[in-house]
Structure 1
Amino acid sequence: MRNRLPPSRSSAVTRRGLLIGGGAGVGLVLAWAVWPRRYLPNLAADKGETIFGAWIKIGDDGHVTVAVPQAEHGQGVYTALPQIVADELGADWRTVAVEPAPLNPLYANPLGANDLFETSNATLVGRWRDAHAIATTTMLTAGSSSIRAFEDDLRQAGAAARVLLCKVAATRWGVDWQACDTKAGFVVHDKDRLRFADLAAEAAGGTLPEALPMRINDDDSRLSGQSLPRLDAPSKVDGSANFAGDVRLPDMVFASIRQGPIGDSRLLRVDRAAADRIRGVLQVVTNDRWVAAIGNSWWAANRALDALAPRFETRGPIVTSATIDDALRAALDAPGKRIEAVGDVEAVLTAARPVTAEYRAGLAVHAAIETMSATARFADGRLELWLPTLAPAMARAAAAAAAGISADKVVVHPMLIGGSFGANLDSRCAEQAAVLAVKLRRPVQLTWSRVEDLLHDRFRPPAMARMAARLGANGQILGWRTRIAAPATGQDIARRLFAHDPGFRTALALTPPGDPYAVAGAAPPYRIPAYAIDHHPAEIGVPTGHWRSGAHSYTAFFTECFLDELAHLSGIEALSFRIGLLGGNARLARCLSTAASLGGWEGGISGSGQGIACHSFRGSHIAVLVEAHVGEGGAVSVDRIVAAVDCGRQINPDLVRQQIEGGLLFGMAAATGGSTDITRGMPDVRRFGDLGLPRLADTPDITVELISSQADPGGVSELAVPPVAPAIANALQAATGYRLRGLPLVPGSK
């Protein structure tokens, strides 16, 4: 491999998997991974391009292409990651391009896996995943991990290419290479300048020093920290950006699908004769779980499904909203699994009668703009897939198993994603497209209808919480206990992602009971001498999955609403109550005081319609102030949102602001709608109009203050979602005097 950094020269490169081994204490579960393995980059060079390691290509016209291993679904990763390389390389931003990285263990994301499942390397599964993620090419976009996981690698790559270019230029000029620098796509030394394009081919064969010098100058030439324009914006604006639904292949046909109700549903019969009468219908494919219609257009295929009038039989109990509530309550009444604890909370709470409250969050849908889609082509024993996916290696394994071939016979082409919010961790559409391609022996594009996408979502799980706290003098919280009944969604996601990996099942079997994912974010960020977080696993019979911010979306609601109730009982204004409990968390305290100052906080007094909430997430901190009221017809109306954010050092402030603003609106939509009930095994929602989502006219005035910080970058894309719902609920309590304890917030409900 040319220009590969030796493992001893960079901990980041070693972590990336040039030499992989098991961690101490993992034992036989990891024995297979201990043998040293080496991975070579497999970037493909176009004509006139020179490859620099696993991340960078430089063209003879001067363009710099950066391989990005993360999926772009609107969060700006196709800009932020190349910006890191361009900054360290000294490239001209106008010449920087991006392409999806190929499947390779070098691009694995163990941090994303650990953050998604809310595990750490202190746990057996956490340690196992870290080594396993690299060995199995777990390229995962999740957990707001992109910058945190890859910044070191990308800076190392940019620095390595810069050094190699400087060495060639220095040789031509007869100077010391360390006296050279790069700026705007040139190697410079005094008045001498040479383009990257003129040096790249020769530089690629050079050698690197033992220690890579990183750029330390802090002048206007540094690209990091600038709000550079997004690389994906022009093609999205002019329509040239390709999404999964834009793929067109010779002899391709189109498919739509209909699946049975939630539960163990089996297809009984279809009316094939009726479908044959639909113009443009070519074929009908059935199996036990679903029926697909194939046509020369998607419209024809989807119309055929209505004509087919499929009938399914569901074995076992029929799921309804009532059965879900019963399952949550039964789980909450049963013993739980302690996930986190400090001090002896039971002794504190039994010493005096505690304050208690019960909260609930309903099923939430993803409702991304792009429905599930995949294009598949099977020929000569090989399968190609074009699809939006957050986990390409897992999608490949799932499609290979469905097609009955080995994974090395499957090629995945990751596409831009039209939103996701976690939905594209699911591989069902890839599996179905693979089955159809093998059956039809011609390329097929499968697209779920909007109805199908809503009915068969992997929903954000419902949850029920029983909160208990004991108050001391002057508003001190002596003890705090959170008991949450919710499905073990983290374990379910892991089982689906690693369904074809027997090693994972072994590791999961050895993991202590309870699911940290299901109660993630429930530990209060406040100084409380004794607290405990318990998970009560609930079997609700509904498939659940990761949804933007995961369990934090409901645990922050439980925590920040209950804290507001305690502040009222203590007779202390809500902002002062919070800041007084924060202890040494200066960053979160600054967010609270900044949001209060910008928003004109009036103390949350009766009639003010003001509420405040805060949250810490993936190394970032946020406080949100909301002004809201109950409008005509009893609907919740949000008038204003003010957010103060400390997410550490910012690569691109505009991207951060976009994600915070989008997250605030996402959280608002989930607080006031975006949910569904279940009737006889089927979700009630069928279209966007059923979700009660806010429209443009409902959008409140939004102010976002980004607090300057030199701390390491924290997560951003999910940060703003959790505190919005509690801030709105707290504002409604101030406006009406009535506390809403359920999501979505419906005035008049319990």
Structure 2
Amino acid sequence: MVARGEGNTVGRRGLLIGGGVGVGLIVAWAVWPRSYAPNLPLAHGESLFNAYLKIGEDGVVTVAVPQAEHGQGVYTALPQILADELGADWRTVAVQPAQLNPLYANPLGVDTLFEGLFDALPLPLREGHARRSALLLTAGSTSVRAFEAPLRQAGAAARVLLCKAAAKRWNVGWQACATEGGFATHGKDRLRFGELAAAAAGGTLPDPVPLRGEGGTRLSGQSLPRLDAPAKVDGSANFAGDIRLPDMVFAAIRQAPVGDAKLLSVDRDAAAHVRGMLSVVTNDDWVAAVASNWWAANRALDALAPKFSTTGPIVNNDSIDAVLAAALKGDGTRIWSTGDLATAFKGAKLVTATYRAGLAVHAAIETMTATARLTDGKLELWLPTQAPGLARAAAAAALGISEGAVVVYPMLIGGSFGANLEHLAATQVAVLARDLKRPVQLTWSHGEDLLHDRYRPPALARMTARLGGNGQILGWQAKIAAPSTGRELAGRLLATDRAARAALAISAAGDTYAVAGARPVYRMPAYAIDHHPADIGVPTGHWRSGAHSYTAFFNECFIDELAHVAGTEALSFRIGMLGGDARLARCLSTAASLGGWEGGVQGSGQGIACHSFRGSHIAVLAEAHLDNDGSVAVDRIVAAVDCGRQINPDLVRQQIEGGLIFGMAAAIGASTGFSDNLATARTLGDLDLPRLADTPDITVELIPSEADPGGVSELAVPAIAPAIANALQAATGTRRRTLPLITGIA
């Protein structure tokens, strides 16, 4: 066993020696003073107040949002924060995507996405590098947590400037003025923002800038209408696939199987007979058919009948299972521990159970797509991306040009769940634009999207615990075999970042990402969490909630099994071990009360589970049964959520409901096997996704809280699968320990 101490720190000298030039650059950048100017474009009649805000003479308040909108509601929640502090009229608030700028970097997103992989670097160095590298990431449920403070400051600064401009006209002190509903006010005097914007912008600010006090109409906390909804409803919203450029052509792609595979041959003559077919582009890794429309390009791919050779190991279900089993028997890395587990386990009767989770797919509605135009050495990219700076760097590297020669236009995303952190489509379309010498739009088919996904990794866990005479857990060990997805993801996304690669090289052994969420929320004197790396030969990546989606399944199913061994009702067993965690205990008791918890007795078909995640807490009660054909049917879901202060309660409820359905889909399907280096799921129909008729009755209770906002968009995913599994145990008397909760995967 390789141990990793939780208290390890790395000094600056050690960083420079161990990390070489790359980490030395981070240290240098962190102490290099640098300021950045806003680059928010202005239209006629608009006045720039700061990097997040401009106000038009027509009174329209436009907020720049540096996070990708892929259905989670950031185009509403983030403007709502600023508008609340500004005192704006919500009917006059507009939104536009922010351009790449270090001012919009998200250091919290970097830390959260990679689950502490870069903790060897002191926090100021990590933050400094993220900002100077313009690491704009939409990941890890960090949008509100990362940008609430700067957006409030931006709104407050503009409010002060508007009050100063109004006060000058009224010949009063600016502190006596206020803003509300899009007006600056002083007693009965009122001036619209649009009348004051030009005079107010560029004024001087006090230090510190005061935030709005209590009182007045506040927008924060209201379920205001979504700003992106009208355009999505009437079809005027532009997604990446809607881009049309002069002289543009369309491309479809077929890629080599996973592993050591290369393109051998294509039938160009057969493809030439497809109407609309224009060109074929090949390299060792893929073949692209180019046509006057995408349907013709995709038909031409079939006609090309590409053949690939695979010289490396064959990857299939059996090989993946064998690698995981071997990894679990081998040495692991201790990621977290407390107490003396060896003493707790010595000579005691132990409870053990083994759990599995299969490969899970993203299966977003919008497949991978990107549009590129290369003109005079300047590359323009239109693409759905959660990491525009990383996509820019990858495309520049693919063409051998500078990042400054690449312009990225982030688009609305039709779902993502982490898939659009990847930038493979951006590099492919950049190469196509160069070779074709004309604008091109590349779109993967759903089959290609499933065959070449960056899957949620599979995992195998051996759980062991010791129960005391009073039913308390005295010791707990989780040994988890899983790919080192965090390191793989960091190496892939940050491939052009020398400093990040050097920092990764000196980070502690093991992969915290691979076992994130495995540390139990319950109080016990001794526990240990070990990661056993497994190289399965399949690319893996970030999937909504990451490893929490399987570690919560392992933990919450095992807790139910321990409660059964202890002869204790499952809800009481959990609450009794939470100690002082009042927020999670309240979630559990609320879900049980609303759901009519019957104790999980045999035949009830009820199961319960809970999880704490990104500063938020959730408990889920599920009711489920098996249909006559053996398929899993979920009848009812009740969730109680404490996510701190809620900017927009309806957005929270939408994300919880969506996460519950997403997690339910993954619990009963949405997975793939592997055969001969290819995924066996080729169409959405192969995934057994729940349909409208399969959707259970869902109740979501939002618990009021004044705690700081926690993460929401991923929160509901981890707890639903174990709740369903526990419900099936109560319904059938049989414990299912494998995700998805079916007998097997083809």
The TM-score with structure 2 as length reference comes to: 0.96
Q: 1:120 to 1:371 in 2, by over 3 A?
A: closer
User: Which residue in the other structure is 1:722 paired with?
Assistant: 718
Q: Does 1:570 align with 2:562?
A: no
User: Which residue in the other structure is 1:190 paired with?
Assistant: 187
Q: 1:521 to 1:281 in 2, by over 3 A?
A: same
Name the aligned partner's letter for residue 114 of structure 2: F
How large is the Cα RMSD of the aligned pairs? 1.3
User: Which residue in the other structure is 1:6 paired with?
Assistant: none
Q: Does 1:381 align with 2:386?
A: no
Name the aligned partner's letter for residue 532 of structure 2: H
Once structures 1 and 2 are overlaid, which stretch shifts more, 546-555 or 398-407?
398-407
Q: Does 1:204 align with 2:198?
A: no
Give, in angstroms, the shift of residue 509 of structure 1: 1.1
Once structures 1 and 2 are overlaid, which stretch shifts more, 131-140 or 715-724?
131-140
User: Which residue in the other structure is 1:143 paired with?
Assistant: 140
Q: Does 1:105 align with 2:102?
A: yes
Q: 1:164 to 1:593 in 2, by over 3 A?
A: same
Name the aligned partner's letter for residue 156 of structure 2: A
Q: 1:271 to 1:120 in 2, by over 3 A?
A: closer
Unpaired runs of 5+ in structure 1?
1-21
User: Which residue in the other structure is 2:632 paired with?
Assistant: 636
Question: Take 1:383 and 1:80, find their aligned partners in 2: how far apart are those partners?
Answer: 32
Question: Take 1:31 and 1:645, find their aligned partners in 2: how far apart are those partners?
Answer: 40
**Counterpart selection for 1:412 from 405, 408, 413:** 408
Name the aligned partner's letter for residue 381 of structure 1: G
CA contact (8 A) 2:117 2:512 kept: no
For these two proteins, the number of residue pairs brought into alignment is 727
Question: Take 1:546 and 1:748, find their aligned partners in 2: how far apart are those partners?
Answer: 24
Question: Take 2:246 and 2:400, find their aligned partners in 1: how far apart are those partners?
Answer: 24
Name the aligned partner's letter for residue 285 of structure 2: R
Give, in angstroms, the shift of residue 211 of structure 1: 1.6
**Counterpart selection for 2:329 from 328, 333, 347:** 333
Q: Does 1:351 align with 2:347?
A: yes
5 Å matches for 1:274-423? Answer: 274-423=270-419
Q: Does 1:440 align with 2:436?
A: yes
Question: Take 1:152 and 1:137, find their aligned partners in 2: how far apart are those partners?
Answer: 18
Name the aligned partner's letter for residue 677 of structure 2: G
5 Å matches for 1:211-230? Answer: 211-219=208-216, 221-230=217-226
CA contact (8 A) 2:350 2:467 kept: yes
Question: Take 2:551 and 2:429, find their aligned partners in 1: how far apart are those partners?
Answer: 37
CA contact (8 A) 1:119 1:125 kept: no
Once structures 1 and 2 are overlaid, which stretch shifts more, 310-319 or 382-391?
310-319
Question: Take 2:256 and 2:46, find their aligned partners in 1: how far apart are those partners?
Answer: 50
CA contact (8 A) 1:625 1:641 kept: yes
Name the aligned partner's letter for residue 335 of structure 2: I
CA contact (8 A) 1:636 1:747 kept: no
User: Which residue in the other structure is 1:614 paired with?
Assistant: 610
Question: Take 1:31 and 1:160, find their aligned partners in 2: how far apart are those partners?
Answer: 32
User: Which residue in the other structure is 1:72 paired with?
Assistant: 69
Q: Does 1:159 align with 2:151?
A: no
Give the 3-state SS of the residue equivalent to 1:240 in structure 2.
coil
Q: 1:701 to 1:24 in 2, by over 3 A?
A: farther
CA contact (8 A) 1:120 1:127 kept: no
Name the aligned partner's letter for residue 687 of structure 1: T
5 Å matches for 1:626-705? Answer: 626-705=622-701
Give the 3-state SS of the residue equivalent to 2:717 in structure 1.
coil
**Counterpart selection for 1:269 from 257, 262, 265:** 265
**Counterpart selection for 1:738 from 716, 734, 737:** 734
User: Which residue in the other structure is 2:20 paired with?
Assistant: none
Question: Take 1:488 and 1:338, find their aligned partners in 2: how far apart are those partners?
Answer: 14
CA contact (8 A) 1:625 1:727 kept: yes
5 Å matches for 1:103-142? Answer: 103-119=100-116, 122-124=119-121, 128-142=125-139
Question: Take 2:347 and 2:710, find their aligned partners in 1: how far apart are those partners?
Answer: 40
Deviations 1:220-252 (A, max 9, x none): x10000000000000000000000000000000
CA contact (8 A) 1:524 1:559 kept: yes
User: Which residue in the other structure is 1:14 paired with?
Assistant: none
**Counterpart selection for 2:501 from 499, 505, 522:** 505
Give, in angstroms, the shift of residue 260 of structure 1: 1.0
Give, in angstroms, the shift of residue 41 of structure 1: 1.0
Give the 3-state SS of the residue equivalent to 1:378 in structure 2.
strand
Name the aligned partner's letter for residue 42 of structure 2: A
Question: Take 2:135 and 2:72, find their aligned partners in 1: how far apart are those partners?
Answer: 20
Q: Does 1:583 align with 2:579?
A: yes
Deviations 1:584-610 (A, max 9, x none): 000000000000000000000000000
Give the 3-state SS of the residue equivalent to 1:508 in structure 2.
helix
Give, in angstroms, the shift of residue 205 of structure 1: 2.4
Q: 1:121 to 1:259 in 2, by over 3 A?
A: closer
Give, in angstroms, the shift of residue 346 of structure 1: 2.1
Give the 3-state SS of the residue equivalent to 2:629 in structure 1.
helix
Give, in angstroms, the shift of residue 26 of structure 1: 4.9
Give the 3-state SS of the residue equivalent to 1:124 in structure 2.
coil
CA contact (8 A) 2:584 2:618 kept: yes
User: Which residue in the other structure is 2:85 paired with?
Assistant: 88
CA contact (8 A) 2:606 2:730 kept: yes
Q: Does 1:603 align with 2:582?
A: no
Give the 3-state SS of the residue equivalent to 2:64 in structure 1.
strand
Give, in angstroms, the shift of residue 58 of structure 1: 0.2
The TM-score with structure 1 as length reference comes to: 0.96
Once structures 1 and 2 are overlaid, which stretch shifts more, 410-419 or 126-135?
126-135
Give, in angstroms, the shift of residue 318 of structure 1: 1.0
CA contact (8 A) 1:630 1:747 kept: no
Give, in angstroms, the shift of residue 39 of structure 1: 1.2
Question: Take 1:324 and 1:73, find their aligned partners in 2: how far apart are those partners?
Answer: 32
Name the aligned partner's letter for residue 114 of structure 1: D
**Counterpart selection for 2:169 from 162, 169, 172:** 172
CA contact (8 A) 1:635 1:747 kept: no
CA contact (8 A) 2:85 2:212 kept: yes
Kindly, what percent of the aligned residue pairs are identical?
A: 71
Give the 3-state SS of the residue equivalent to 1:113 in structure 2.
helix
CA contact (8 A) 2:68 2:138 kept: yes
User: Which residue in the other structure is 2:550 paired with?
Assistant: 554
Q: 1:121 to 1:155 in 2, by over 3 A?
A: farther
Larger relative contact order (Cα-Cα within 8 Å, sequence gap ≥ 6): 2
Deviations 1:635-688 (A, max 9, x none): 000000000000000000000000000000001000000000001001001111
Give the 3-state SS of the residue equivalent to 1:614 in structure 2.
strand
Give the 3-state SS of the residue equivalent to 1:607 in structure 2.
coil
Give, in angstroms, the shift of residue 130 of structure 1: 2.3
User: Which residue in the other structure is 2:5 paired with?
Assistant: none
